[in-house]
Structure 1
Amino acid sequence: MRRADLALQATKEPPLRKLGVSGSLYAVLANLQVTPGLTGAELARVVGVTPQAIAALVSKLSGRGWIERRSHPRHGNVQELHLTDRGRGELAGANRLMADLDGYLQQSLGDENYRQLRRLLGEVVELLPGWSPPDTVAP
């Protein structure tokens, strides 16, 4: 799984960067499209990075005018993050690129294998939270 993840990252990063969006920035934008109004802490957990890393990504995207911070309706000191119209436009281009990559994989694997891969990956996602590391791990 790790090799497949690394290969995917290495494949998508160069064309995303040509659009001005790194893989990390894409992850932030895509998650804000799916769940508008996430806080920085929530976004860090979803993307799988530290709060410090998400702060740098948010700052970069905010500086570009792709996302905006809004005060939380009930908690004044908490800021929600939202895509701007410009951010949605930039994300649309990146989404088209990712859809093309997905289409390439589907065509290359064939419909049956592609469906099986998606099903198995879905099962992996469901099973992983149930794993507990052993109490001791030999060095």
Structure 2
Amino acid sequence: MMHKPASITKSKPERRASGEEVAVRVPAPGEGKRGEQGYLGYLLRQAHAAVRLKMERTLADLGVTSPQFAVLTMLNAYPGLSGADVARLTFLTPQTVGVIIRNLERDGAIVMTPHPVHGRIQQWTLTPRGSTLLKACRERVIGLEKRLASSLDAKAEASIRRWLANVATELQED
């Protein structure tokens, strides 16, 4: 594996007109390359990180993580999914989903039923406790969603939703 030269990987201090060196200032979100001049992929990742952190904090006192919320949401929308299906839909690794499923099952939020045709495939569905937990999570997440869209009119929100869905569709085909 090739290594990048130190001149590329290390921050260089800035020099003032007086010749004095000052540390490089990392831009805040919305500034420089972290703002409108940034790469779209980076901006999407930055936005995702901000939303996930806010969601983690919003759901923490319910004892639910952002990935657990995603799993509960998908099992509610598509009851009877296998762990592999859940992993694909939530963008999590099968190993991570396995841990989440074990924890949600232990807590009584989901239950496993064998697949009617393929006996080795386990299907997962929400229990009444899981539905109640998801409802509590949703109330909080809806507040976050409203905050995300607060500066958008209905047409702009629809356009952004369509663009994001198209990004996923178009790039998946490559």
TM-score bracket for this pair, using the shorter chain length: 0.7 to 0.9
Query: Which deviates more from structure 2 when the two are superposed, residues 90-99 or residues 120-129?
Result: 120-129
- Change beyond 3 A, Cα 1:78–1:112: closer
How many residue pairs align between the two structures? 131
Q: Specify the alignment match of 1:126 in structure 2.
A: 169
Q: Specify the alignment match of 1:99 in structure 2.
A: 142
Q: Specify the alignment match of 1:66 in structure 2.
A: 109
CA-atom RMSD in angstroms: 1.4
Cα distance, 1:110 vs. partner? 3.5
Report the residue type matching 2:125 in the other structure: H
Q: Distance in 2 between matches of 1:9 and 1:121?
A: 17
Q: TM-score, normalised by structure 1?
A: 0.86
- Change beyond 3 A, Cα 1:20–1:41: same
Query: Which deviates more from structure 2 when the two are superposed, residues 22-31 or residues 38-47?
Result: 38-47
Which one has the largest radius of gyration? 2
Query: Which deviates more from structure 2 when the two are superposed, residues 106-115 or residues 80-89?
Result: 106-115
Which runs of 5 or more residues in structure 2 are unaligned? 1-43
Q: Among residues 33, 38, 51, which one is paired with 2:76 in the alignment?
A: 33
Q: Are the counterparts in 2 of residues 40 and 80 from structure 1 also a CA contact under 8 Å?
A: yes
Which runs of 5 or more residues in structure 1 are unaligned? 132-139
Q: Specify the alignment match of 2:41 in structure 1.
A: none
Quote the sequence identity (%).
34
When you count helix as a share of all residues, which structure comes out higher?
Answer: 1
Cα distance, 1:113 vs. partner? 2.9
Q: Are the counterparts in 2 of residues 72 and 78 from structure 1 also a CA contact under 8 Å?
A: yes
Q: Specify the alignment match of 2:58 in structure 1.
A: 15
